[in-house]
């Protein structure tokens, strides 16, 4: 019997994945555990291994296709072996996914509309409710002895009919991709439910819904970013503290160390490296900034794990540097370059995107002078880093032109008050203005 290869669910938030590349073609022999294809999850690329040895007899998802999790994307078996009907299998997976997310929902087969032959076993109470509500007993599956329909089965059926969607999840997704309003599609499923076949039929017909060709469908990454940012923005009351930092001494130190570190590591020393180092030392001195709000109270993290916001094609990733407070400048330089490069090439593992305790978002390279970053939950604070600009400042009563940089610390006020946040920002500023303190 052929073995299904399914779209894996790599993380609780993942609902669908995109097939990036098949390493094998139909007819190829493959060993169990051998890389079979590459997929894009909600935020990272990952390889999917063959679950068994055999011949790749059928590929169901083309490169670039978006597929719901736990949906078959290929079959491995013996050459010439018959595989199940793909369309029916996908529809059934989608229906089960949609129904399984509800509690006490009555499950039924989508296209059964004919009465079940033979005598229907049901309790008097179940029959009474069906007569009153105009429900056909033949459409209900009983949970009692010998499939006898009970009152609870009728109530579950009614609840399912009340809460069921007008369209299957797969049909909704396909309609969104094609830009067709779901309410304009006539459904051929149970109780007029719109199925995948209905969307395909509607897409072949000319209409107003095809006029706009400029709509870009949301990618899995964009959906996750939207959900998480919305959750953070609407759940946490925040405020932002700002401070100007004189980066003159950092600039001088960077000039002194950059060639030396390049020879040792092959990596470019950047201002971000110094900022990461200063923030990690500041968090160690102010542990109540390095916290998360949990059900039991405020979790003070024992480790300093800093996430760095990285701009990637089509979205944003926040890979995590772990135990940064224990790293030397050289180690930070190597780690930041490695994780940023792998983020841009989408080669991070899901584990490298989790476990942060604080986040840094640097938009200085784009000339941004000031912004209010949104907290990357479950962190309770995020530091926004702006560009370095020459400004006229007064030092010891004398006007001087200095390279100044703005830091913006956004804080979750449920967890952190203004004074502790201000002290952390003050001390981080002091470390950047007196960088030799970083090495003491």
Give yes or no for a contact between 159 and 137, defined as CB atoms under 8 angstroms apart: no
- Which of 242, 287, 257, 302 lies closest to 438 in space, CA to CA? 257
Q: Please tell me the distance from the alpha carbon of residue 370 to that of residue 287, in angstroms, as a whole number.
A: 26
**SS3 category, 362:** strand
| Helix and strand totals (H; E) in the chain | 10, 18
- Within 13 Å of residue 417, how many CA atoms lie on the same side as its CB? 2
Q: Which residues pair with 242 in a beta bridge?
A: 408
- Which of 250, 302, 225, 229 lies closest to 407 in space, CA to CA? 250
Length of the chain: 440
Phi-psi region of 37 (alpha: psi -120 to 50; beta: other; left: phi over 0): beta
Annotated active-site residue 413? The verdict is yes
DSSP per-residue letters across 199-240: HHHHHTS--GGGS---PPPPPHHHHHHHHHHHHHHHH--EEE
Q: Please tell me the distance from the alpha carbon of residue 152 to that of residue 143, in angstroms, as a whole number.
A: 9
Question: In terms of C-beta distances under 8 Å and separation of at least 24 residues, what long-range contacts does 172-179 make, across chains too?
Answer: 173/16, 173/66, 173/68, 174/199, 174/200, 175/199, 175/202, 176/217, 176/218, 177/66, 177/217, 178/203, 178/209, 179/209, 179/210, 179/212, 179/215
In whole angstroms, how far apart are CA 174 and each of 19, 169, 182, 189, 382?
Answer: 16, 9, 10, 16, 37
Annotated active-site residue 417? The verdict is yes
In whole angstroms, how far apart are CA 30 and each of 5, 49, 52, 83, 230?
Answer: 13, 10, 8, 17, 43
Among all residues, which ones are annotated catalytic? 413, 417
């Amino acid at each position: 019997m052929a073995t299904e290869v399914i779209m894996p669910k790599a993380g609780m938030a993942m609902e669908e994945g995109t097939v990036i590349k098949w390493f094998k073609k139909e007819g190829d022999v493959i060993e169990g555990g051998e890389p079979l294809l590459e997929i894009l999850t909600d935020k990272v690329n990952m390889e999917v291994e063959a679950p068994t040895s055999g011949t790749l007899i059928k590929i169901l998802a083309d490169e670039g296709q978006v597929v719901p999790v736990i949906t078959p994307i290929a079959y491995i078996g013996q050459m010439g072996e018959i595989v199940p009907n793909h369309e029916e299998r996908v529809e059934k997976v989608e229906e089960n996914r949609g129904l399984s997310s509800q509690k006490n929902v009555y499950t039924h087969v989508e296209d059964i509309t004919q009465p079940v032959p033979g005598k229907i076993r049901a309790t008097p109470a179940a029959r009474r409710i069906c007569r009153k509500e105009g429900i056909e007993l033949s459409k209900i599956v009983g949970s009692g002895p010998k499939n006898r329909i009970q009152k609870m089965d009728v109530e579950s059926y009614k609840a399912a009919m009340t809460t069921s969607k007008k369209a299957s999840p797969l049909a909704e997704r396909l309609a969104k991709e094609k830009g067709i309003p779901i309410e304009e599609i006539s459904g051929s499923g149970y109780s007029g439910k719109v199925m995948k076949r209905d969307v395909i039929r509607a897409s072949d017909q000319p209409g107003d819904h095809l006029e706009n060709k400029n709509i870009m469908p949301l990618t899995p990454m964009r959906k996750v970013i939207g959900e998480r940012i919305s959750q953070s923005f609407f759940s946490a009351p925040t405020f932002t503290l700002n401070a100007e930092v004189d980066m003159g001494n950092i600039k001088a130190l960077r000039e002194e160390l950059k060639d030396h570190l390049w020879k040792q590591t092959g990596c470019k020393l950047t201002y971000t490296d110094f900022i990461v180092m200063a923030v990690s030392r500041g968090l160690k001195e102010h542990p109540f900034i390095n916290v998360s709000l949990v059900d039991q109270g405020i979790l003070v993290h024992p480790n300093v794990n800093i996430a760095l916001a990285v701009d990637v094609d089509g979205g944003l990733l926040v890979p995590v540097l772990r135990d940064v407070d224990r790293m030397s400048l050289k180690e930070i330089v190597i780690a930041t370059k490695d994780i940023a490069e792998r983020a841009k090439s989408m080669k991070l593992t899901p584990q490298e995107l989790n476990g942060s305790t604080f986040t840094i978002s640097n938009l200085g390279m784009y000339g941004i002078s000031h912004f209010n970053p949104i907290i990357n939950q479950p962190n309770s604070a995020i530091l926004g880093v702006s560009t370095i600009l020459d400004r006229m400042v007064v030092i010891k009563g004398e006007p001087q032109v200095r390279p100044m940089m703005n830091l913006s610390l956004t804080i979750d006020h449920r967890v952190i008050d203004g004074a502790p946040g201000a002290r952390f920002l003050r001390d981080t500023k002091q470390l950047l203005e007196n960088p030799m303190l970083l090495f003491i």
